[in-house]
Amino acid sequence: MSTEYAGVQPGHAAANVKRNIIANFAGKMWSALMVLAFLPLYVRFLGIEAYGLIGIYASLLVFLSVFDMGLSTTLNRELARLSALRGTGQEARDLVRTFELIYWATGILIGGGIAALASPIARHWLNAEGVTVETMEGALMIMGLVIALQWPTSLYAGGLMGLQRQVLLNAIRAVAATLQAGGAVLVLWLVSPTIFAFFLWQVLIGALHSAIVAAWLWKSLPGSAAPAFRKDLLASNWRFAGGITGVTVLVAILTQADKVILSKMLSLETFGYYSLATVIASALTHISNPIFTALFPRFSQAAGGGKDAELALLYHKGSQLMTAVV
């Protein structure tokens, strides 16, 4: 990579946005296809009650996103803004290192917290007949490990989005989704048809996914000097991050409150069917997200560079495209 940012090249901006939108759609559709294609096999090998534990895991991922604290979106915005300016390579590296340390610490705390609460959740919250308490407790503990290892992926992905490396990011995500879904089926078929085998496979792929995305983000950053943790970068970004956190909390409540309540009220088997329907319905959300993901870094670059006319034009074109797609 170059040793320093060279600024945004306007001639390539429109092509980058189009390419990123196409890549985002392809990546989202492929990930959704992998999930939907292998759902029947999960249920066949594990049973609908054990699949309910996968539904618990999926809900946890969304609910715990509030602990992102807006850092992944902030990193997306700031790296996009800095890439439009010259002489900001070291600041970009310091920003990634600062957010990275906080994110890893948060992921470890979350994973440890889930593992610590595995016993009371299994014994006093979940209702199961065909799955033992010990099995649920063990599965929850492994869930904590999975979440801790793959938690930083969101931050690194946000950085790659801000650097306009969305084609690369979607290629990595597509491979990871294929390994997570298809590989899990092979493990259940050839190794052990248990919920433990499923989540242990997710541990492996989650750790590998985080490592690869992290490596590509650092490789894509300009400069070569050692990055440093800087409190001033936190101070200058906390307002934006706080606003994103507020939105995330609201979204988590609106989309996950039903699952939290029903996981207590329903049997694990019934909750498994509910989770199955939720996964299928959520595939529709993949329609609008790719457009936003591609446009947000360009908004940040235009705003950071003071290009109000370009920002207005991009906003109107983006709105028209979103309207047509919806």
Whole-number average pLDDT of the chain:
86
The verdict on pTM exceeding 0.85 is no
With contact defined as beta carbons under 8 Å apart, do 203 and 149 qualify?
A: yes
With contact defined as beta carbons under 8 Å apart, do 179 and 187 qualify?
A: no
Which among 199, 206, 205, 52 has a CA at the least distance from the CA of 138? 199
Tokens 């995305």 correspond to 213
pLDDT at 20: 86
With contact defined as beta carbons under 8 Å apart, do 118 and 99 qualify?
A: no
pLDDT in tens, 277-316: 887 777 666 677 788 888 888 888 888 777 888 888 888 8
Q: Burial level of 182, CB count in 10 A (0-12/13-18/19+)?
A: middle
For the record, the structure tokens of 93 come out as: 């590296």
Burial 79-104 (b: 16+ CB within 10 A, else e): bbbbbbbeebbbbbbbbbbbbbeebb
pLDDT in tens, 47-92: 888 888 888 888 888 888 888 888 999 999 999 888 878 888 899 9
For the record, the structure tokens of 271 come out as: 């909750």
Residues 6+ apart with CB under 8 A from 216: 156, 160, 165, 168, 169, 172
Name which residue leads in pLDDT, 198 or 256.
Answer: 198
With contact defined as beta carbons under 8 Å apart, do 185 and 45 qualify?
A: yes
CA distances to 201, 209, 301 from 64, rounded to whole Å, are 21, 19, 29
